Structure formats: C-alpha cells, structure tokens
Chain A
Amino acid sequence: MLRDGRYLCKFGKRGKGGFGLWTFGDVGSHDRAMPHDHPDHDHPHSLLPSDPALRVKALETILTQKGLIDPAALDEIIDTYENRIGPKNGAHVVARAWADPAFKAALLEDADPVLADMGYYGRQGEHMVVVENTPATHNMVVCTLCSCYPWPLLGIPPGWYKSDAYRARAVREPRKVLAEFGVILPEGQAVRVWDSTAEVRYLVLPQPPAGTDGMDEAALMALVTRDSMIGCGLVAAP
C-alpha cells in the first residue's frame, strides 16, 4: 500500500491490453474509481526535474532502463508524424471530392469506408465525418476539452489548434477567430462550429475556388491548405 492509502495495481492482473497505443476496456485492476486530487507537491510528476527538456529526458531514461520503451520505436513514431502523415492526405481527399461528384457524395454520406479505400485510417481517425462548406454554411472544427484532431488526414495538430485561446473562443466567437486568420465571411453565410467531444473526427471540405475547372487531382491538391480543412482558412484561387 502506498503511504496515501492507495494500493498499487498488481502485475499480472491487468487483463487484456497492449493491442494498440490506446486500448479500451477494463485493462487495469487498479481502482481509479475516484479521481485523486493531490496537493501540487504530491503529484508524482513533481518529482521529475522542472525544466521540461530535462523532465522528458529523465522519463525516457528511466523507461528505457525499465525496458518499457524502445528509443528506436520513439524515432519511428516521430518520423511518422514529422515526415509521413500530414495535411497532404487530407488535401488528396479534398481534391478528389472536387473532381469527382460521385466520390464526394459517398464521402459526405459515409466517410469511413471511402477513406479506408484510400488508405487513410488509423489512430485518431477511426470515425470520420466530412462536412461540406457551401455558400450558406461555413464549417469549423475545434476540441474545447482537449485537442482532438483527425491525425491520419492532417497529421498532428498545429500549436494554435491546441491553444487555450482557440479552444476557449472558437465556439463563442468563431467569426472573430476567423478574422485572425484573415477570413471574413459574407453576412449570409452561417457558421457551424463542430466541437470534437467524442471519438468522431471532423474534416472540412472547403469550397473550391473559381478557376479550377478541368484541373487535375495533383494540381487541385496543391491548392488545399491545412487550415482550410479545419475551417480556419479559405482556398485561394490558382
């Protein structure tokens, strides 16, 4: 028993788990039925160095010594999100939707099978909904409670998406936030802000700009910005 009266979870009683980066289900025997509200100094994290770079280094060292993480796996995860998975994936989907009405209709109706066919599935993109901007409605995505974001399509979220300012303000004053991105909407266009409170992830299908008729998928892709797929940007004409 710990000195504060809690029991450590016993090894070997954790049941199923370890199948994915996040596993659902009752994977532990430790009783976390009640949240533990500690004074600041009693949080275990306060035992680590206060400088964040040293904190991370210290934790990586201990976990590596314990055999709980493999530094080569960390490199692999970083390379994935730094170089392989990013907004090009989302732009590919948007470009195809602009060029192919049947694809667009299927995407808006039920995005998951359509995206899976293109190979865009994975962590933080298991349940996708694509919402279309029209002259009547502009869509915008936020996660007020944390930073939920469609990773397989857009990569990891930008700093501003995770900021308190965006999380606090996007739902109450989306038009002021859009103005900070240089976006001014016409009076007749309503804003729909999607707050990602569950495991559903939203991708905005921006309106195609004028002058794109007949452009091929690759040329269209090059026009699509990350911010336009979050709903904080418009796609500029070529």
Chain B
Amino acid sequence: MTRIHDMGGRFGDAAVVPEPEHVKFHADWHPRALAITLACGSLGLWNLDVSRHARECLSPKDYGRFSYYEKWIAALADLLVDTGALTRNELERGQADGTSDLADKRLAAAAVAGVLAKGGPATRDSNVAPIFAVGDMVQVRSVPENMVVSGGHTRLPTYAAGATGVIVRLHGCHVLPDSNAHRKGEAPEPLYAVALKARDIWAHPEHPGDEVIVDMWQSYLSAS
C-alpha cells in the first residue's frame, strides 16, 4: 500500500458528473491557485516528482476533505517552508519578513509563454538497456512501494501490483520518480506501457476483452 492518493479500483465512490467544456474553474480562487503553483515551480526549488509527493504526503484526512486546488495550495505551502523559501512565521502572520534572495528567479509575465511552451521533458539518455520488447509477458512487482525510501513516492498503483501483463509500447528511457522525488538523482530507465487484462486484476471484470494499460518503469517489472 502506498498512500491515500493511490485510489485506482477503490469501491464506494459516487457517479461521475460530466460538465460542459466552457467550465474551466469552479471558484474565483481556483485559477489563482493554479497560477501561483505554476509560478512557484519556476523558482527551481523542486522538481515535478517532489511536488507530486508533497501532495501525496498530505494527511489522509486533509487529502480526503480538500478540493483539488486546496491540495495544490496546501502542498505548495508545505514545500515553500520545507525548502526555506518561506518561514512558518511568515505563513502564520500573513506577512513577509523581507525580500527573498531568490527574487531574481521570479517568473516574469513576459517569460510565461516561453516557459509553458518549453515544458519539461522526462526522457533522458540512460545506460540501462531495455530488457523487454513489445509482446513480452512481464510480471509487475508484488509490493507497490518505493523500494528505497520507506513511505516514499512511487508510480506503481496498488491495483497493478503482482499482475502479469504484456508489453505494448516502449516509451524510451524516462526519469524514475521513485528516485527523483527524493532528490536521489534522475536514475532514468526504460519505461513501458503494459497491458493488464481486466480479468487478471479485478474479481468482477465488466467484459472479458477489457484491459487496463499502465506505464511502468523497468525496475517495476520482471520476466514472466
């Protein structure tokens, strides 16, 4: 078991409620929360995997009761204090103690378009060679946990753990979140799309032909 965010397959949730395409945000503060989070990302204090892990480290109680952008803002506040960009005292008083020495990293309005357009590719050169090919049968690791850091970040969902599947794509070598989220290096390795039969992962599959495809790093897999 990893953390509260790992909810694929969970029972008990209500119906999904569709909404029209023109609805972008559901409260005035939502776009602000999105923009603050993105702007702070460009300070260079953390990577994508660190920020995901910060959201996952919210207490299960907070994760459950917070709306989407409340999770973002809570995790952002935690990260800003954790990296020393803000102090607890500043959060408590709602006032800054002075200008940050990181102010030169501030994302300027004129730089936004370029930064959004540039993105942050996750592919890397790697000395880890692919050991599986499309069509190979593989077994997913049975323990869906970070193997190095106890309680650490992983992108192996619990519902896929221990399953047998088939490689359907090789995506190249990608940064390994299990390492990068803990600032232990990018540790790039081959990433695959693995097809799991619904009947192999659920007790009551809806249809014999249905499948779930999960992107998994080579270290999540062994030959079957």
Contacts and interface: CB of A to CB of B under 8 A. Distances in A.
A48 B91 contact: yes
A165 B191 contact: no
A47 B94 CA distance: 9
Contacts of B50: 28, 32
Interface residues of B, number: 136
Interface stretch (A96-104, A171-179, A205-213, A215-223): A171-179
B94 A62 contact: yes
A58 B7 CA distance: 31
Nearest to A8: B84
A9 B86 CA distance: 11
Interface in B7-54: 7-19, 21, 23-29, 31-36, 38-53
A53 interface: yes
Interface string A55-68: 11111111101111
Contact of B39 (A6, A25, A70, A121): A70
B206 A32 contact: no
A76 B29 contact: no
Contact of B16 (A11, A181, A225): A181
Range of interface residues on A (Cβ < 8 Å): 35 or more
Given A76-B109, A76-B112, A126 B121 contact: yes
A40 B103 CA distance: 30
Contact of B28 (A26, A53, A85, A129): A53
B223 interface: no
Contacts of B186: 24-26
Interface string A167-189: 11111111111001100000100
B113 A76 contact: yes
B185 interface: yes
B62 A60 contact: no
A113 B103 CA distance: 36
B40 to A, nearest CB: 7
B21 A226 contact: yes
Contact of A66 (B81, B103, B116, B193): B103
Interface in B162-183: 169, 171, 174-175, 177, 180-183
22 contacts: A11-B84, A18-B42, A20-B42, A32-B181, A35-B57, A57-B32, A61-B95, A66-B100, A66-B103, A68-B43, A68-B85, A73-B108, A75-B109, A77-B116, A81-B31, A126-B120, A171-B8, A175-B206, A192-B212, A195-B212, A199-B122, A200-B191
